[in-house]
Structure 1
Amino acid sequence: MALIFKWLFRLASAVVVLTVIGVFLAYYLASRSLPEYDKTLPVSGITADIEIVRDNNGVPHILSLSDRDAFFGLGYTHAQDRLWQMTLLRRTAQGRLSEIFGTRTADVDTLLRRFDLHRLAIESARFQDPRTLDALEAYSAGVNARIEEINARSLGRGAPEFFIFDAAIAPWQPADSIALVKLLALQLSDQLKDEVLRARTSLALDDDLRLSDILPDMPGTGTAALPDYASLFDVPLPRYAQATAQPDGFLDVIPPRGLAGASNAWAAAPGRSASQATILANDPHLGLTAPSVWYLARMNLQSGPVIGGSIPGIPSLLVGRSDSFGWALTSSYMDDQDLYIEELNPDDPQQYRTPTGWKRFETRKSIIEIKDAAPITVTLRWTDNGPVLPGSQFNLNAVTPPGHVASLAWTALSAQDTSMSAAIGLMMAQTIEDGIEAGRAFVAPSMNVTMADRTRVALQTVGAMPRRDPAHQSRGRMPSPGWIAQNRWQGMMPYSANPVFVAPQGGIVGNTNNKVVDRPFPNHMSYSWGDSQRVQRWQTLMQGRKVHTRDSFVEAQLDTVSTAARTLLPLIGRDLWYTESAAPEGTPERRRQEALRLLADWNGEMNEHMPEPLIYAAWLRALQDRLIRDDLGPLAGAFSHVEPLFIERVYRNVGGASAWCDVIRSARVETCTDIARLALDDALVWIGETYGTALGALRWGDAHAALHKHQTLGDVPVLRYFVNIRQSTSGGDQTLLRGRTMGTGPAPFTNVHSGAYRGVYDFADPDSSVFISSTGQSGHFLSRHYDDLGQLWRRGEYIPMSLDTDLARAASVGVTRLVTP
């Protein structure tokens, strides 16, 4: 027995020693790739020495004598801090993820190959202006200088992830950056998904009048009735189309509906500013990741120094300011995508129907290499309208009749896309006129650009706007037959058709993805908008003060009051409050009364420390599900987020919308009060099972935690605790401090989409401007700059956004000198 114990002890000791050695070795290898910020490095490709001063927050201040060297420095710093992120984004755009991740990403690669973004980016490179081409080449040279340094000095392959996933790093090319702009456009586009959902809902509903309830138009001039989707085709479609099983979501770049682009931006003219100078605020909303998609930087340009937020891989500050000009971005929700149903020739499936007869698809073979598996060959097919998409994506199978395929017309699929030139031009603008002119070159993604110079503020919608025929059958709101001429695009509208507001009389301009203009079809901009509630709170805050300051703009960015909650609770709870006698302790009735009492005293503030936001959110979620489940069946799961306009229509009985309250399969006629009561009970049961039965002890922040997930290691056991960042947060789906919830799964209120960048620029004292990002500057999880900004972001704090080089040097964490050989 003693001998067995001795050997077990030796074996356990050996395991411990080997584990310690393994951990030490892993740490050593990983730490080799930690960037060194204090050094001098000879590089080729620069015209003069470049100095990169990193302040104590890790923000690089790139000091150079020429624009070319400034872009070189930006490329170098991006690669120094975010090389894995850049490599992952490039492989995504190219459709080459499966070379390192295997079969798990084959569907993502197949879809991206069909979009053909990288080939289109290569063609688009020829159409950039000379200034932009020079910037792209210099930026690429800067990235490649870092890659060469890593290879020459054995710097841990540049990032720890490269040890886990054996990925070769090809030299960076100008087209790679253009492809990332197109990839960003794909992530910000929701119109395609809206069309599919509208068509599926039309098929599922027995009463077509109810379509405008569950998918309501933004308040304003009404929209003419649409045809029933099934009536557009001679081939019968099932009334209850089944959804297609979707991939597991690993590295899927297409966010679910409702999680595409959003954002806030507003500006005040001198007459509405306490300092008599313009103020501009911006918080663009994107999916939360670790590291953040944003990278803060300052560049010295011949037009003047600029500072703001960039996206690694793209040689531009996409949001930010100079000494005299600031620019901000919000998603415009322009309808720049149309789905077409293409009829196949029954005698030759290589042909599709056009207005003038049958035509062959443009086809090309594409081979996808897959790690540890045989490669697959994909046949890419294009029609006059655009690429043919697989029926397994976007639930297209559910709306595509037999003998047909779906194709997509989309402005980003242009081989003459000059959006990169527009981004560079906007960054170098000095006045609002310069900014508006730069926007002329934008193609996709379409954005609202809010601008401020020293004396005025403005908002300009940029991006190509499709020209549609007034006789378009679905007005671009649902997939339409691609062989009917009036359904096809007829080129693009002139830039002058894009909405623009310069120096408005009220002195305030802004956008929360709300409806910008209300023009009749086909001169409309969109039917689907991203917001109808945040804008109401924004208007209240802007009009509540005669003049604004930097701090009042910060206060508005961090505002957590839900106008939706203030509107809906009195409607759904009006017949429930104080209408029942006191119930015994521990009964469902008593818990319902306690919940109603808490909500009755609540002001709609979605504060992370309060129980009421969780009760409200769970109630509304259960309520919407009860209202639509019996009418839509399995399709109800596609409505993963509460639509306040739908709830309001039902409880105000707009156009007979209260019909949703009656359960079709029930003998009795249920009232809306009945459904509200049942939904509250459902919500309280779910809360009790998930967070406990003590309602007063609930915290919204426990459910609404922000999840900054590492895209490739976020689900790996043990490692996920080191690479993911999780924080309790306030806000919600309809607050200015927007924290868009996941909407599905066991934790539906997890905050997964928010303002990962915030900035407020005060031109009375530009160096008093502030900004912040949601994680940190470094993509290396062993770096202190991996998450050091995260807690500031969570608490609503900011860091200085100063162009003062002396201030940056005073607290720098290192100075990198790139010198000519």
Structure 2
Amino acid sequence: MKYFSFLLVLGVTIALAVLVSIPIGQIPPIAPLLDPNHGFWQNSISEDELAAEELTLENLTAPVEVVYDQNLIPHIFAESEADLYRAQGYVTAQHRLWQMEFQTMAAAGRVSEIVGPIALDLDRMTRRKGLAFGAELGMKFLQENDPETLALVEAYADGVNQYIAQLSDARLPVEYKILNYRPEPWSAFKSLLLLKYMSDMLVGDRDLEFTNLRKILGEAKLDRLYPEFPSENDPVIEAAHVWDFEPLPVLKPDSMAYPDEELLISPLSQPEEGTGSNNWAVAGKKTKNGNPILANDPHLSLNLPSLWYAMQLSTPSNTVKGATLPGALGVISGFNQDIAWGVTNATRDTRDWYKITFQDESRKAYQYGTTWKPAERRIEEIKIKGQEAFIDTVIYTHYGPIVYDRSFRAERQDINFALKWTVHMGSNEQKTFLLMNKAKNHNDYNRALDHYTAPAQNFVFACKSGDIAMRIQGKFPLKWPGQGKFLMDGADPKMEWQGYIPNEQNASTLNPERGFVSSANQHPTDSTYPYYVFDNSYEHYRNRRLNRKLGEMEQITVEDMMGLQFDDYNLQAAEALPILIRLLGTYKADSPEAEKYLQELKSWDFFADPNQKGQTLYSIWSSETFESIWRELLESKAAVVRPSSYQTVELMAKSEQDSIFEVKSVDGVEAADYHVRLGFDSMLVVMEKWEAEQGDYSWANYKKTTIQHLVPTFKSFSVVNVYTGGGSGILNATGSRHGASWRMVVELGSQVQAFGVYPGGQSGNPGSKFYENFIPVWANGGYLDFGFRMKGDVDNVLFKTTLK
């Protein structure tokens, strides 16, 4: 019997040993994960506890000194640019390797390799959009036109790879351990791919939705509900600007054929609501010290690790500091000894869709005018963890890849639509930032921007000499009015783009009379700009609040600019809530709660501070009202997009009896007040449930700002319920999942004064004390001192490492 018991225990032990040593499906092997010497326990050690005085880095021409301040921000001092960027790659990988690789694998359509078949559709769409194809063209562009930049990008990759080669199992980022894979070599291609990933994240189009809306509403109603310009347009480039160039001619075809059927296909994912940014610069004549002040706060998804990684990069001839993108060279938003710059999304339509007519089922040729053009095939092998690879065949036309066809998202319709996108046109955005990091004046700033193609950005600028400027930069196609608003016929050569707007004719301004430049994702210009520009997602509230405040302010200080970045005033509510209350009319509150809510709304001051309850009530009421107004339109089987909130409020204010408020399913004549009352009743239902389950409905508690790990299921690596105010359409644009991903304020005096913060920490390791330590500062509107550190400074040094 004792032998039987022994054998039983032995068998169970062997089985357990096998189970914990071999991954099962998507579950990692347990033994390595729990190993105290190599597993996740080792990731509980912070970087300062692992600091080394010296590290070996091959291919340097001289030693490089890396000084970390008390917030783990590295200050790299190198003797040459090649050494600087090799060290930047190495240091960034030390703290953000998993993030760098995960983001570029997402951009390449390779997430299935990590997480299995759940990501297959995502990977297929990414490949069909051609992000990797665009990066390949970018590599070819550098190889043929700019070997110097390519050499620096390869130096950065060498630094990353040297860190990977030195990486022990113990120091492997915890995400690799949990997901059970190891990092692969970095490359120059991956750095270019990262910039394409940013384009995909920030660029949208609504060609499909507007094509369907044209069919559903007719052109007249479409134009009324989706006007080219709002009634109160406050554009990026001041309305009084004079355009001092002769525009290139754009010929509109005499006749055009658009698809005349509703298309039952799923649109591409668009930039999520809340994605945006603010930037501005004020001239010395408006500031207390007589120096220009620049501010920038890009609004993106709130993620951990943070999108940004703060650094100072120094050579004997130049020092630059600010926010970097892990995986890309240089500083993206920052300042040097002479200038400061920042970026916001320009919201420009740089991708269009063409309906392709193939000659036959083989899809080897497609119609173009009176001829048939040959098509190309690109075989995409998508590796899937735990399964055989999936093979996808993507057809390429001269416009670009066929994203939609009968094999993917065609939903019962035999269609083929090709995507034309500036991302597929070989460009050199990396050079823009390399040159901007060293720029000394406005001419240098313009020369840097001449290399920039996508994603379109509003680049704000200020320099010590006193200049302030704004330029809307990208590679913008020449379009006739309306071109690209709807899907086009790819068989008709007249549908082609007719060239590109010259860089020098991109909308820009230098030292405007009003004493400031600004952008907040609104219309780039007024109607006098001679080129066609349209987008349905332009901002209408943040921009007007910003420009009004900047216009009023004098004797401006850095602290004033910090306050403006954290401004919680809800202009939409200030304009819309009085209309909602008026249209509610003689509403009879049939409960004490309804009367309480109404009184709270009437007494609210329109600030979305974290303790405000009026903001919560307005958010629900307005959302339910707008949803009711457009419900029947949005219930169409075909994909559509509803009119903007700005346009909706204007219709309610000026045309409350408009036929658009009628509801087919309800008898009688409906007007705007019907939807307002329905929205109020819906708010009461929402609030009854909320108070019963959650209690406190102050704004911060209701919106529950969450800074989420890049893998959403890793909830323990996220930070939830951050107590902070703001919201969509507000300068402090902090919603539940989006907000200011980086705040920077710089005064360019004889000594540069700079301050910055982002919602995260320098470390990508969830076990480090530097993983989320900036979040409380950011949530309260605070900043870190981002002043330059000189070589040899001894104050506030966490540790120093010499790369030899």
TM-score for both structures, normalised by structure 1: 0.86
Residue 733 (structure 1) shift: 0.9
Q: CA RMSD in A?
A: 3.0
Kindly indicate whether residue 546 of structure 2 is the aligned counterpart of residue 546 of structure 1. no
For 2:738, give the aligned amino acid. Answer: H
Kindly indicate whether residue 508 of structure 2 is the aligned counterpart of residue 500 of structure 1. yes
For 1:684, give the aligned amino acid. Answer: L
| Structure 2 counterpart of 1:117 | 134
* Contact 1:304/1:322, CA 8 A, preserved across alignment: yes
Pairwise mapping of residues 234-633 of structure 1 onto structure 2 (< 5 A)? 237-238=261-262, 242=264, 244=266, 256-259=270-273, 261-346=275-360, 348-391=362-405, 397=410, 402-414=413-425, 416-454=426-464, 455-468=466-479, 470=480, 474-519=482-527, 523-576=531-584, 579=586, 583=589, 587-588=590-591, 590-633=592-635
Residue 522 (structure 1) shift: 7.3
Kindly indicate whether residue 75 of structure 2 is the aligned counterpart of residue 86 of structure 1. no
Residue 363 (structure 1) shift: 1.1
* Contact 1:76/1:143, CA 8 A, preserved across alignment: yes
For 2:564, give the aligned amino acid. Answer: A
* Contact 1:33/1:158, CA 8 A, preserved across alignment: no
Distance 1:22 1:47, change over 3 A: closer
Residue 509 (structure 1) shift: 0.6
Q: What is the CA–CA distance in structure 2 between the aligned matches of 1:107 and 1:96, rounded to whole Å?
A: 11
* Contact 2:467/2:511, CA 8 A, preserved across alignment: yes
Distance 1:221 1:492, change over 3 A: farther
Distance 1:691 1:767, change over 3 A: farther
SS at match of 1:441: coil
Q: What is the CA–CA distance in structure 2 between the aligned matches of 1:60 and 1:760, rounded to whole Å?
A: 20
For 1:411, give the aligned amino acid. Answer: T
TM-score for both structures, normalised by structure 2: 0.87
Deviations 1:407-465 (CA, angstroms, capped at 9, x unpaired)? 11111111x31111112111111111100111001011111110000111001111111
Residue 488 (structure 1) shift: 1.1
Distance 1:735 1:391, change over 3 A: farther
Distance 1:274 1:66, change over 3 A: same
Distance 1:279 1:657, change over 3 A: farther
| Structure 1 counterpart of 2:755 | 770
Q: What is the CA–CA distance in structure 1 between the aligned matches of 2:694 and 2:123, rounded to whole Å?
A: 47
For 2:629, give the aligned amino acid. Answer: L
Match of 2:75 among 49, 58, 61: 61
Identity among equivalent pairs (%) = 24
Residue 264 (structure 1) shift: 0.4
* Contact 1:308/1:320, CA 8 A, preserved across alignment: yes
Q: What is the CA–CA distance in structure 2 between the aligned matches of 1:260 and 1:359, rounded to whole Å?
A: 42
Q: What is the CA–CA distance in structure 2 between the aligned matches of 1:262 and 1:526, rounded to whole Å?
A: 17
| Structure 1 counterpart of 2:730 | 735
For 1:318, give the aligned amino acid. Answer: I
Deviations 1:567-587 (CA, angstroms, capped at 9, x unpaired)? 01111221436x356x5xxx4
| Structure 1 counterpart of 2:788 | 803
For 2:619, give the aligned amino acid. Answer: A
| Structure 1 counterpart of 2:690 | 690
For 2:474, give the aligned amino acid. Answer: G
Q: What is the CA–CA distance in structure 1 between the aligned matches of 2:521 and 2:658, rounded to whole Å?
A: 28
For 1:790, give the aligned amino acid. Answer: I
Q: What is the CA–CA distance in structure 2 between the aligned matches of 1:375 and 1:177, rounded to whole Å?
A: 26
Distance 1:291 1:422, change over 3 A: same
Distance 1:638 1:779, change over 3 A: farther
For 2:699, give the aligned amino acid. Answer: W
| Structure 2 counterpart of 1:647 | 648
SS at match of 1:769: strand
Distance 1:759 1:766, change over 3 A: farther
Residue 196 (structure 1) shift: 2.1
| Structure 2 counterpart of 1:6 | none
Q: What is the CA–CA distance in structure 1 between the aligned matches of 2:613 and 2:46, rounded to whole Å?
A: 44
* Contact 2:173/2:765, CA 8 A, preserved across alignment: yes
Residue 45 (structure 1) shift: 1.1
For 2:800, give the aligned amino acid. Answer: V
Residue 71 (structure 1) shift: 1.0
Deviations 1:67-96 (CA, angstroms, capped at 9, x unpaired)? 222112211111000000011122122222
* Contact 1:418/1:442, CA 8 A, preserved across alignment: yes
> Could you list the runs of 5+ residues in structure 1 that have no partner in the other structure?
1-10, 247-253, 741-750
Q: What is the CA–CA distance in structure 2 between the aligned matches of 1:330 and 1:292, rounded to whole Å?
A: 18
Q: What is the CA–CA distance in structure 2 between the aligned matches of 1:313 and 1:806, rounded to whole Å?
A: 25
For 2:709, give the aligned amino acid. Answer: H
Match of 2:208 among 150, 172, 196: 196
Q: What is the CA–CA distance in structure 2 between the aligned matches of 1:535 and 1:429, rounded to whole Å?
A: 28
* Contact 1:37/1:54, CA 8 A, preserved across alignment: no
Kindly indicate whether residue 784 of structure 2 is the aligned counterpart of residue 793 of structure 1. no
**Count of residue pairs brought into register by the alignment:** 751
* Contact 2:708/2:717, CA 8 A, preserved across alignment: no
Q: What is the CA–CA distance in structure 2 between the aligned matches of 1:778 and 1:379, rounded to whole Å?
A: 40
Deviations 1:469-501 (CA, angstroms, capped at 9, x unpaired)? x3x7x4111211111222111232211120110
* Contact 1:218/1:529, CA 8 A, preserved across alignment: no
Distance 1:637 1:775, change over 3 A: farther
Q: What is the CA–CA distance in structure 2 between the aligned matches of 1:610 and 1:161, rounded to whole Å?
A: 38
Residue 608 (structure 1) shift: 1.4
* Contact 1:128/1:421, CA 8 A, preserved across alignment: no
* Contact 1:619/1:679, CA 8 A, preserved across alignment: yes
Distance 1:370 1:693, change over 3 A: closer
Distance 1:559 1:384, change over 3 A: same
SS at match of 2:782: coil
Q: What is the CA–CA distance in structure 2 between the aligned matches of 1:171 and 1:276, rounded to whole Å?
A: 49
Kindly indicate whether residue 63 of structure 2 is the aligned counterpart of residue 49 of structure 1. yes
* Contact 1:259/1:287, CA 8 A, preserved across alignment: no
Residue 120 (structure 1) shift: 2.5
Q: What is the CA–CA distance in structure 2 between the aligned matches of 1:305 and 1:324, rounded to whole Å?
A: 10
| Structure 2 counterpart of 1:701 | 700
Kindly indicate whether residue 764 of structure 2 is the aligned counterpart of residue 779 of structure 1. yes
Kindly indicate whether residue 217 of structure 2 is the aligned counterpart of residue 218 of structure 1. no
Distance 1:86 1:243, change over 3 A: same
Q: What is the CA–CA distance in structure 2 between the aligned matches of 1:782 and 1:638, rounded to whole Å?
A: 44
Distance 1:396 1:271, change over 3 A: farther
Deviations 1:750-786 (CA, angstroms, capped at 9, x unpaired)? x212111000001126443100011101110001110
Residue 22 (structure 1) shift: 7.7
Distance 1:257 1:44, change over 3 A: closer
Distance 1:814 1:667, change over 3 A: same
* Contact 2:634/2:641, CA 8 A, preserved across alignment: no
* Contact 1:306/1:321, CA 8 A, preserved across alignment: yes
For 2:582, give the aligned amino acid. Answer: R
Deviations 1:188-229 (CA, angstroms, capped at 9, x unpaired)? 1012xx222222333444x5544345544332699xxxx9xx
Q: What is the CA–CA distance in structure 1 between the aligned matches of 2:229 and 2:309, rounded to whole Å?
A: 34
Distance 1:672 1:421, change over 3 A: same
Q: What is the CA–CA distance in structure 2 between the aligned matches of 1:374 and 1:21, rounded to whole Å?
A: 26
For 2:550, give the aligned amino acid. Answer: M
Distance 1:795 1:434, change over 3 A: same
Match of 1:755 among 740, 761, 767: 740
Deviations 1:120-178 (CA, angstroms, capped at 9, x unpaired)? 2332331553442232122112111211221xxx2535311111223342322212111
> Could you list the runs of 5+ residues in structure 2 that have no partner in the other structure?
1-11, 21-29, 234-251
SS at match of 1:89: helix
347-356 or 622-631: bigger deviation: 347-356
For 1:645, give the aligned amino acid. Answer: Y
For 1:199, give the aligned amino acid. Answer: T
